[in-house]
């Protein structure tokens, strides 16, 4: 199947939105928890195809967006050390810390390099044995297996000058925090298909049952998202609260067992601070056991660096689905992609960047 055509067919989208419209009998609020889905919703105007009674809100589904200020400050501190080559994916280079970002650090002389894989950083460590190579390991469960493999290979091959600055976060605790909020209005979730391709969706089932909230594992193309919304509304209208899988072509209930086994070997569950949300217990991954010798936070003694979020940036409210990006007074004025106050205006998957690109006018 050609996913760029069949899954973006306008007539099929109209039929799906019509089916949702005919089904709805009362207002419902649904949150997508994936930056890729957010971008597709805004880019293709999927929310504008829906009846007014179905309201979409954007959740903390962009890994770059939820990386806290103090983690960026730690990254900059490490990168500025003369013996370090700091490697990162592109989006993280412009995420603002307390004063500046990794691009600013590079302008000050830091050796900051863009890579496309943690294995690129590991290969660099092999080629430059006299330098300390640090990889910025950011992301949800989707990117964690590749970072786990890099750590595994580093120890197996005895690459002693390689380390990871880990800022991995987990989706289910974020959903739990949103549902536990006394002001929560979310009644159903679209779960990220790529996260579930790794982890499966068994861990969402107790969450759906405990909070009586439907969760639909959903893909990323326009028709995937509309079908996921239709499945979620169908549950809400019938009074069901289950986990359903719209993304059957890529996701199985148990996920990817080999990837899960590797994550279990390399990482352990730890508390993690989220930008704009605060610290959530058991919401992140940290290096486990003998893999801790690859922990850049320990190796370079930066754990004591702490920072507060800028008060002018309302990204926390955006990431919790409390406001839309264009409701922030700084949106498009003080905060633009060229001069971002927060990470959601930087990342390609950030809600603020998507609104600025597709709806600023």
5-9, 92-96, 139-143, range with the lowest pLDDT:
5-9
pLDDT score recorded for residue 1: 53
DSSP state of 272: E
CA 292 to chain centre: 24
Alpha-carbon distance of 190 to 33, in angstroms, equals: 6
Alpha-carbon distance of 244 to 230, in angstroms, equals: 11
pLDDT score recorded for residue 310: 84
Q: How confident is the model at residue 276 (pLDDT cuts 50, 70, 90)?
A: confident
pLDDT score recorded for residue 361: 61
Sign of the Cα torsion 165, 171, 176, 177 reads positive
Distance linking the first and last C-alpha atoms of the chain: 35
Alpha-carbon distance of 210 to 279, in angstroms, equals: 22
Nearest alpha-carbon partner for 237 in 229, 245, 246, 226:
229
pLDDT score recorded for residue 348: 84
DSSP state of 22: H
Q: Give the chain's domains with CATH numbers.
A: 6-61+171-245 (3.40.50.11750), 64-169+255-299 (3.40.50.11740)
Q: What per-residue string of b and e applies to 112-137 under the rule 16 or more CB within 10 Å gives b?
A: bbebebbeebbbbbeeeeeebbbbbb
The model's pTM is 0.95
SS3 at position 294: helix
Q: Is the pLDDT of residue 211 over 90?
A: yes
State mean pLDDT over 134-160.
98
Crossing angle of the two packed helices 35-44 and 222-238, in degrees rounded to 10: 100
pLDDT: is 258 or 348 the higher one? 258
- 192 forms beta bridges with 218
The tokens describing 331, both together, are 């949106």
The tokens describing 47, both together, are 């929310």
Summarize the chain as % helix, strand, coil (round to 5).
Answer: 45, 20, 35
Contact in structure between 143 and 89 (CB atoms under 8 Å): no
The tokens describing 349, both together, are 């998957």
DSSP state of 218: E
Portion of the chain with pLDDT greater than 90, in percent = 93
CA 140 to chain centre: 5
């Amino acid at each position: 199947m050609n996913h760029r055509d069949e899954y973006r067919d306008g007539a099929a989208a109209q039929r799906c939105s019509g089916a949702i419209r005919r089904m709805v009998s009362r207002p419902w609020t649904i949150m997508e928890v994936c930056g890729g889905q957010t971008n597709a919703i805004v880019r293709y105007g999927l929310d504008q195809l829906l009846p007014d009674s179905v309201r979409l809100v954007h959740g903390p589904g962009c890994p770059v967006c939820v990386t806290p200020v103090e983690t960026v400050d730690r990254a900059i501190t490490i990168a500025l050390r003369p013996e370090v080559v700091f490697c990162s994916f592109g989006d993280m280079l412009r995420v603002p810390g307390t004063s500046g970002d990794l691009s600013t650090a590079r302008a000050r002389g830091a050796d900051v390099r863009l890579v496309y894989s943690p294995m690129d950083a590991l290969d660099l460590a092999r080629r430059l044995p006299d330098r300390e190579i640090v990889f910025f390991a950011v992301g949800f469960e989707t990117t964690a297996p590749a970072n786990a493999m890099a750590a595994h290979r580093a120890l197996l091959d005895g690459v002693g000058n390689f380390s990871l600055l880990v800022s991995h976060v987990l989706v289910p605790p974020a959903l739990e925090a949103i549902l536990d909020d006394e002001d929560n209005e979310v009644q159903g979730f679209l779960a990220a298909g790529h996260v579930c391709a790794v982890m499966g969706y068994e861990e969402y089932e107790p969450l759906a049952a405990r909070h009586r909230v439907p969760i639909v594992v959903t893909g990323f193309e326009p028709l995937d998202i509309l079908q996921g919304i239709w499945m979620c509304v169908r549950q809400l209208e019938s009074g069901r609260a289950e986990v359903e899988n719209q993304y059957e072509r890529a996701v199985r209930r148990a996920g990817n067992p080999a990837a899960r086994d590797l994550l279990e070997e390399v990482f352990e569950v730890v508390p993690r601070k989220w930008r704009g949300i605060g610290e959530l217990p058991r919401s992140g991954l940290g290096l486990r056991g003998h893999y801790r010798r690859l922990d850049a936070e320990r190796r370079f003694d930066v754990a004591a660096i702490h920072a507060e979020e800028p008060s002018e940036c309302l990204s926390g409210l955006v990431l919790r689905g409390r406001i839309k990006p264009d409701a922030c007074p700084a949106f498009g004025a003080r905060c633009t992609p060229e001069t971002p106050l927060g990470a959601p205006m930087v990342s390609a998957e950030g809600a603020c960047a998507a609104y600025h690109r597709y709806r600023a006018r």
